Amino acid sequence: MTNTLMKGSQTTQLVEGISVDSTDKEDDIKIPPQILGDINMDDVLLDDDLPQSPHPQEGQTSREGPPDWFIEYFGQMRTTMERIEQTQKENFDYMKARMDSIEQRQILNDKLHELHGTYIDRLGDNYEQLYTQQMEFHQECLD
C-alpha cells in the first residue's frame, strides 16, 4: 500500500491501484477518511518542489536536456519522416507526369476523332456523288 501525496504532482497515489489526478484547482477537495486509512494529513508534506534525482537516469548524461534515447528516437523519426516526404514527392511527380501524359493522349484522341469525322464526311460525300453518277448513268441507259 502506497500513501504518497505531493502538491503539484500530476498523479497522487493514495491506495495501491487507485490514482487521483491532482492539480492546483483541486487543492480544496476533501478526501474521505476511509480512503486515507491511518494517514494523518497534518503529517503529509505538501511541498511545491518535487525532488530531483541527483544522478542521471540510464542513457542520460549529467548535462541538461533530453536523454540520449529521446534524441536518437526522434532522430530516427526525422529520418523516417524525410523518407516519407521524399516518397510522397516522388509519387506526386510521377502522378503529375502520368496526368500530363493522359492529357496529351486526350488531346491526340480529340484530334484523331475530329480527323476521323472529317474522313467519314468525305466518304459520305463520295458515296453521294457515286450514287448521283450511277443514277445519271442509269437514266442515260434507259433513254
Q: How would residue 1 be classed by pLDDT, with cut points 50, 70 and 90?
A: very low
Whole-structure pTM value: 0.39
Average pLDDT, the chain: 75
Alpha carbon distance 31, 90 (integer Å): 60
SS (H, E, C) 112-123: HHHHHHHHHHHH
Instruction: Classify burial at 5, counting beta carbons within 10 Å of its beta carbon; exposed 0-12, middle 13-18, buried 19 or more.
Output: middle
